[in-house]
Structure 1
């Protein structure tokens, strides 16, 4: 399999990393939640001296900027909190009657509602942009593995060199205790890491989101031009099954190994 083909499959079938467990929220997100509550209050308070001269539309736009900043800094939850806080303090400080949560003018009600809606939308967009940045960093690491293997497959004098390289890559990528490669005939029916990144045990799919790896070794087969050439036998380490993105990279590395073995010919396979 070429590097371009492996990259295409990874980018089109991988998903983002698993969310952090509850209670493990990063410090950055906790600070953003605080900013989501406090920053709109401070911004609205700062606009109080100008509220008679500043149009309500311009004031709302300033608060939208605050929402965007908070959402870009932290999580989606922080952006949502900032949007709600902005709408509340806009009502309290910047619409008549001042220092109450009552609005008498219909135009001010419309502005407050629009502020809330726009704030919610932009917070979603900003948070999504941040998430995509995280996924891009992860993809860069995964893609570097694919490119390293492709370069080695083209330059290595022996397919065994590629096999050993991929065995080490799989051990690191999937956090394995051990990884070995078997040439030739299939023996037994161990659990299998499939081409789509799923895991099967026997004839049944394995729930990778709710369980650890199946017990025992996991096979990852390699093919060259549709012909079975061998399999990596994976001994899982402790902890849950790695994310789908990592599993798809593992499948791509196995495919590159199969391509190297197929090019080398029968003499290399024994």
Structure 2
């Protein structure tokens, strides 16, 4: 988790600093380049920050680029004042285009990561389904899924309990949410609760048991990961139901 926080901080700092640095480098050449060309260079800078950061970083980079364009490249120089209407239009366009392009770049990067992640999730589901079909022992599927859940959700441990429910621990629901004391737990902000979380297993409408998830403090599994976890538990339920009816 700290690694992602550090990366976010770096992206925010870069969003503010990089357009300033690029603008300072271009200052000696401002009489040779038109302000339109300078604005285009700054848009490229915004895209570079957004592609390696996130939406907020891209938006800050766009604002920073517009501010430093005004400060360094519109008369009077070194003042946040614009006297020429053409420069006003260029500054506004730089801000608008920078914001739009930065959001597109951040979205493209996000979609690329999701695609890679989804491939991993699909592989987990495929491997589990294949094992459920090839083995005659549902316990093998249970053990396999327990290991998958540990890795998928970043758990300290995971065990399976057969039979009836005991106690009222936090529960991972079918929609990926976590319910604790009849209230929805904010996983995105707080991570999983600091105690065992149950993931119930059903097969053909019958309750067969539950996985008891032991979360690692500070780990925040994504909604996608939690939904895959629920699907894996359903595969165990199907395997247990098939064995019970076999």
TM-score (norm 2): 0.79
1:234/1:105 CA distance change after superposition, 3 Å: closer
Aligned residues: 243
CA RMSD in angstroms, aligned pairs only: 3.2
Question: What whole-Å deviation, never above 9, does each CA across 1:145-176 have from its counterpart, x for those lacking one?
Answer: 22221221222232222111111112222333
1:25/1:249 CA distance change after superposition, 3 Å: same
Aligned partners of 1:199 and 1:205 also within 8 Å = yes
How many angstroms apart in 1 are the aligned matches of 2:156 and 2:66? Answer: 53
Aligned to 2:166: 188
Give runs of ≥4 in structure 1 deviating > 6 Å: none
Question: What whole-Å deviation, never above 9, does each CA across 1:20-73 have from its counterpart, x for those lacking one?
Answer: 44xx3368637734323312332x43642424xx4x444433332232223223
Aligned to 1:6: none
Aligned partners of 2:11 and 2:49 also within 8 Å = no
How many angstroms apart in 2 are the aligned matches of 1:26 and 1:229? Answer: 43
Shift of 1:120: 1.9
Alignment of 1:93-108 (within 5 A): 93-97=72-76, 101-108=80-87
TM-score (norm 1): 0.73
1:220/1:92 CA distance change after superposition, 3 Å: closer
How many angstroms apart in 2 are the aligned matches of 1:107 and 1:194? Answer: 57
Query: Which runs of 5 or more structure 2 residues have no equivalent in the other structure?
Result: none
Aligned to 2:190: 210
Query: Which runs of 5 or more structure 1 residues have no equivalent in the other structure?
Result: 1-16
Aligned to 1:48: 30
RCO (CA 8 Å, sep 6+): is it higher in 1 or 2? 1
